[in-house]
Amino acid sequence: MALVNDNYVDLKESYLFSDIAHKVAAFTAAHPERKVIRLGIGDVTLPLAPCVVEALKKAAGEMGAKETFRGYGPEQGYDFLHEAIVKYYASFGVELDSKEVFVSDGAKSDCGNITDIFNNADTILVPDPVYPVYLDTNIMCGRKIIYMEGKPENDFLPLPTADLKADVAYLCSPNNPTGAAYTKEQLALWVEWALANDAVILYDAAYEAFISDENIPRSIFAVEGAKKCAIELCSLSKTAGFTGTRCGYTVVPLALERKTSKGEVLSLNKMWLRRQTTKFNGVPYIIQRGAEAVFSPEGIEQCRANIAYYQENARIIMDALTEKGIKFYGGKHSPYIWLQCPGNMGSWEFFDLLLNKLGIVGTPGAGFGKCGEGYFRLTSFGSRENTAEAAERILRDL
């Protein structure tokens, strides 16, 4: 008699985005004349950079000719892409060995699959508010989960305390959903804690390309010692608008080792290589060529222009909030603006107000965890026109 995984019973269904969709649909049906501006979901809207599109087309052409056709590639990615990523890291001062870089179909996959190489006896530390994937993927393994609270008192950037005990800690910086980003000094405290506790930090750097301050590290490996205690997950989704094109990468340092429960010392790099060569067959050749183009000089320039566009959107929203006296976090090194609902409103109360009065859709902070209650997420991924109009509505009608 086949039994299924008991832990799936413990997963909570998330109705966040479907609840939002239902409310928006009801509003639109009742007010067909009103233009709704969506600043809710974390998806990009600008098209792929021209040099990326060219690379994709060229690679598609190669796949159509016998001489240039490619079959199975290396599961961990082609050398040309490893080299491009190593060079990219070097551009902000982080040295990697290309064996430390694993190309994947995105940070969400790696974030879920990396749980495979850890032990179910591990206690998992996740921030609250939190990207739900950290939580759900560990619930699926039946692991013990503890929380660290993000709140105004710590600028939504929780730091380790002397008595904090956990085995695996998720950090996301710049953070989804709060937009808050750790400084190098703060990250050094986390690395120090992890080394002292033989913990492993799973560092989600998906939003690193939005960082515009040299004191905010683009990679946890900018901190000394991190290669002995951290794995970094990153993606081209936000860096280059790859949300529908799917390419990411995970850095597992060669120096990272931990023990099994029986005391055998294993290399996490080798474990991840074994996991990926066994359960994955690599990213499409065509997509890897597109990703390579992201890291070319033109690619970096074209993608930077797109990010500048979103950053200007963020500035427009932040200016409106500042003028209205609404407190917020993020926005500077992140496409997310995390605002405190005015007048002590709850997250959903503010959602209703914003939708019904202003015709703007955002995301209630309560959807990201207990500590998100009373907060609200807006994104800078809309068009300039819509973002400017949303700011006007905030200034005029809120």
Min separation Cβ 208 and a copy of itself, Å: 18
At 311, list the tokens.
């950053």
Look at the block and give the residue holding tokens 């914003």: 354
Min separation Cβ 352 and a copy of itself, Å: 25
Instruction: Give Cα separations from 61 to 55, 66, 247, 282, 287 (angstroms).
Output: 10, 10, 20, 20, 13
Which of 325, 134, 349, 114 has its CA nearest to residue 230? 114
Q: Examine residue 97 and tell whether it contacts a copy of itself (CB under 8 A).
A: no
Residues 51-90 that bind a copy of itself (CB under 8 A): 52-53, 56-57, 60-61, 63-66, 68-73
Residues 114-133 that bind a copy of itself (CB under 8 A): 116-119, 121-122, 133
Residues 187-216 that bind a copy of itself (CB under 8 A): 197-200
CB 188, CB 166: distance < 8 Å? no
Strand 101-104: give its sheet, edge to edge: 101-104, 248-251, 230-235, 200-204, 168-172, 123-128, 144-149
Q: Examine residue 106 and tell whether it contacts a copy of itself (CB under 8 A).
A: yes
The residue range among 39-47, 209-217, 331-339, 367-375 that interacts with a copy of itself, by the rule CB under 8 A, is: 39-47
Min separation Cβ 209 and a copy of itself, Å: 16
Sorted by sequence, the CB contacts under 8 Å of residue 333 that are 6+ apart come out as 174, 179, 181, 207, 210, 211, 212, 213, 216
Q: Examine residue 266 and tell whether it contacts a copy of itself (CB under 8 A).
A: yes
Q: Examine residue 137 and tell whether it contacts a copy of itself (CB under 8 A).
A: yes
Q: Examine residue 232 and tell whether it contacts a copy of itself (CB under 8 A).
A: no
Measured distance CA(245)–CA(237) in Å, rounded:
8
Report the residue from 279, 324, 327, 370 that binds a copy of itself according to the rule CB under 8 A.
279
Residues 139-158 that bind a copy of itself (CB under 8 A): 140
Residues 331-370 that bind a copy of itself (CB under 8 A): none
Min separation Cβ 126 and a copy of itself, Å: 14
**Residue whose CB is less far from a copy of itself, 2 or 30:** 2
**Residue whose CB is less far from a copy of itself, 34 or 259:** 259
- DSSP secondary structure letter of residue 232: E
* Amino acid (1-letter code) at residue 380: S
CB 216, CB 181: distance < 8 Å? yes
